[in-house]
Amino acid sequence: MTTLLLIRHGQSEANKLGIFAGHFDAPLLPLGIEQAKKTAAYIAENYKVDKVYASDLKRAYATGSSIADSCKAPITADCNLREIGAGKWEACSFAELIKLYASDYDVWLHDIGNARCTGGESVTELGERVLRALTSIAKANDGKTVAIATHATPIRAMQSFVHYASFKAMKHIPWVSNASVSVLSFDDGKWRFIAEGIDAHLGDIKSSLPANV
């Protein structure tokens, strides 16, 4: 069995500004750095991490680097762990999305599993990409515990896949908070969530996505 710790990155500049990041390479804010350090300490105290993998986007890689430092584990960047490719939505404010891409963004808000970013990836394409990446990582690290620093939509997609056997059921899954930890096992080809959205260790520095995302 492989244990995967799925960590959403700490608060980023895009989170604070209220923009849809996608592949837009927004860095962590000071609060996000503090969140990443607290989560790294929590993981180091509770798990023996053998390896860290991270999306190559700054906000996730910086979060993964904090974990790698605390756990004294190597880190590998993997572009397949990136957030959704948002096409024309990247770096747009949520207000702009409602105005400029009303129809497509309405699907995102109300039936996200069937959404496609205008000119970008569909949620199903994202889910399939992340599932392939995590399956490969899990098989390559059988019997080990690995930390995966990634983004909100990849984690939500995996939750939907594991709980509903479909990415299209994502509307039933809430967003996890910044720097939260979700524990996922892979055993003989089967996935199971052991815990989701652990964030009590963050105390009063927790942060989440707004309701209009």
Tens digit of each residue's pLDDT (9 = 90 or more) over 4-58: 999 999 999 999 999 999 999 999 999 999 999 999 999 999 999 999 999 999 9
Q: What is the rounded CA–CA span in Å between residue 63 and residue 10?
A: 6
The domain 2-12+28-86+123-205 having CATH identifier 3.40.50.1240: the answer here is: yes
Q: For 56-81, what is the mean pLDDT?
A: 98
Say how far apart CA 28 and CA 55 lie, in whole Å. Answer: 14
Q: What percent of the chain has pLDDT over 70?
A: 99
pLDDT(82) > 70? yes
Residue 118: pLDDT band with limits 50, 70, 90: very high
Question: Token pair for residue 99?
Answer: 């105005």
Domain extent listing, the chain:
2-12+28-86+123-205
Q: How do 75-77 and 51-54 pair as beta strands?
A: parallel
Provide, rounded to the nearest whole percent, the portion of the chain with pLDDT above 90.
Answer: 97
Residue 212, pLDDT score: 67
